[in-house]
Amino acid sequence: MNQTCRHCGTKLHREFLDLGYAPPSNAYLEASDLSAPEVTYPLRLMVCDACFLVQTQDYTDAESLFANDYAYFSSTSKGWLTHAAQYSEMITKRLGLGQGSFVVEVASNDGYLLRNFVETGIPSLGIEPTRSTAQAAEALGIDVLQEFFGEALAAQLTDEGRQADLIIGNNVYAHVPDINDFTKGLKQLLKPEGVITLEFPHLMRMVEFCQFDTVYHEHFSYLSLGTVSRAFAAAGLRVFDVEELPTHGGSLRIYGCHSNSGHRDSNALQRLLAEEQKRGMTTPDFYENFQQRAESIKDQLLEFLLDAKRSGKTVAAYGAAAKGNTLLNFSGVRPDLVSFVCDAAPAKQGKFLPGSHIPIFPPDMLSERHVDYILILPWNIAAEVRSQLAGQVPGTVKFVTAVPELRLS
């Protein structure tokens, strides 16, 4: 491999994690696809010894991952809708947004968040490259540009007089293959005293709780506060505040502005930067032994599934999520060990998981078929799932999560 760091250009030598070969995590299959060859790519992470950006090994481009029939719809999770509504209310008050403001969300998906601004009359624009989700947002009355975001698109919008008071990017910063171009686009599109908020899973928590199943091809980068601060600074931006969030197993919401803006750096920013330093995130030792920990989780899951099969027990899964596909494919799980998976998203129902070829059904299937165990693949919303299914499945059914360790409840 002769890959250089996506941010600083340093040649990459240090491997962080190797999950073998897997298909793109959201490439759900039709029944007719099951007899055809399935394309897989290496799923490996490297860490830069200079800027400590953790990143996937290059293999393909974003256009092949985020197709027009992209099946992830943010509005499927009620908890995520609540999270978006609470954020919208908070940031509107904090920045004093109103009808004279302009809000842009990059990767606006199905309008899960911008609907809150539209309902309060704040002019908004969504930027979303996937047709299926963009159309869902447009049906809610949201203005959407169906394009990938970068410096060129930001310059076009700026020329049209559409610079933003607020730019939002939830779980998109990790998804962009050219992090520098994306960051320059943020700067280009932002008004002089405007604010950027980005949410992304925190690498510190990923390592702490061995959340290796959050690794998939659509995630090009795995981010710390320190690395994001350096990427912003290189583009003429500045991170001035940060919040730690429980979403996705531990995320950050960072607040950014132009480097010469009047926004003052917060104490929370300095505390978390110091915490990352204390944990050694700018030293090679922090990134050691992650492979062995991931393999231990895989072994625990396989032992449980094999014991269940030998005992004549039936295991189904819930949540046809990207992280579930990473876990199942790394573990080599097939329908003989997990009979089926249920998901509330109609776009996934009737299809099959990539790689494992496990069939996807609506949640009603859990009350129609006998199951002994339900493996909750999106462990970050396990409590929400258990609450939703409490009245649908018998009390004898046990719920299982595999990360950060095998747990039955």
Query: Regarding the domain delimited by 74-287, which CATH topology (the fold level of the hierarchy) does it fall under?
Result: Rossmann fold (3.40.50)
- Residue 64 pLDDT: 53
Fold of 300-408: Rossmann fold (3.40.50)
* 147 contact partners, CB below 8 Å, separation of at least 6: 127, 129, 153
Res. 71: pLDDT tops 70: no
pLDDT in tens, 273-299: 999 999 999 999 999 999 999 999 999
Mean pLDDT score across all residues of the chain: 94
Does the reported pTM lie above 0.85? yes
pLDDT tens column, 336-360: 999 999 999 898 999 999 999 999 9
pLDDT of the residue at 286: 96
For 248-280, write each residue's pLDDT tens digit.
899 999 999 999 999 999 999 999 999 999 999
pLDDT digits (tens, 9 = 90+) for 153-189: 999 999 999 999 999 999 999 999 999 999 999 999 9
Q: What is the mean pLDDT of residues 122-142?
A: 94
Domain with CATH 3.40.50.150 in the chain: 74-287
Q: Where in the chain is the domain with CATH 3.40.50.720?
A: 300-408
pLDDT of residue 138: 95
| Residue 70 predicted with pLDDT over 60 | no
Residue 61 — pLDDT band, cuts 50, 70, 90?
low
Q: Say what the pLDDT of residue 68 is.
A: 45
pLDDT tens digits, 374-391: 999 999 999 999 999 988
Condensed to tens digits (0 to 9), the pLDDT of residues 134-148 reads 999 999 999 999 999
pLDDT given at position 65 = 53
